[in-house]
Amino acid sequence: MRKVNFIALALLAACLLAAPLALGQGGSAEQQIAALSDQAIQAQLKNDTSFFDKYYADDAIIVHSDGKLYTKAEEIASLKSGSLKYESIDVRERKIHVYGDTAVVNFLISFKGAVGGKPYSGDLRRTQVWVKQKGNWKTVAYQVTRIPASK
């Protein structure tokens, strides 16, 4: 088990080291979005609201798995307050489709955390839409759908 944890940690470290490199050197749009996606997950785990302040468009729309709609300011406030807290996020699948200055990322994730102080975990589908605005990628839409537990 320790070996598996070590391997997972090593892979995560490699991704984190590669992310700034891909962004700094430009890279393809797909590489840039992959790096930003990895950084977004780390920001969620660390409650790093500065990432979302920088990479969410001012008019971004965020829809959580309960169907509630959030603005950029509301999402950041929720993270700052601790109302939304991520303990772990395991990306099981990620597909990136680039259409010029727009990219759509679809994830299948397992996560553990708390919403409003209540434990919350399970599998989710997440769709994130990025648009290049004035040379910078910004999230304009973000939707999460909970996958019902198998019976």
The domains located in the chain, with CATH, are 2-147 (3.10.450.50)
Residue (of 63, 117, 119) closest to 88 by Cα position: 119
Q: State pLDDT tens for residues 74-101.
A: 999 988 988 888 999 999 999 999 999 9
| pLDDT for res 99 | 97
Of 2-16, 57-71, 104-118, 126-140, least confident by mean pLDDT is: 2-16
CB 53 within 8 A of CB 76: yes
d(CA 29, CA 52): 19
- For the chain, list the strands marked E by DSSP: 56-63, 69-71, 84-99, 102-115, 118-133, 136-147
Q: How far apart, in whole angstroms, are the C-alpha atoms of residue 23 and residue 32?
A: 6
Is the pLDDT confidence value at 46 over 90? yes
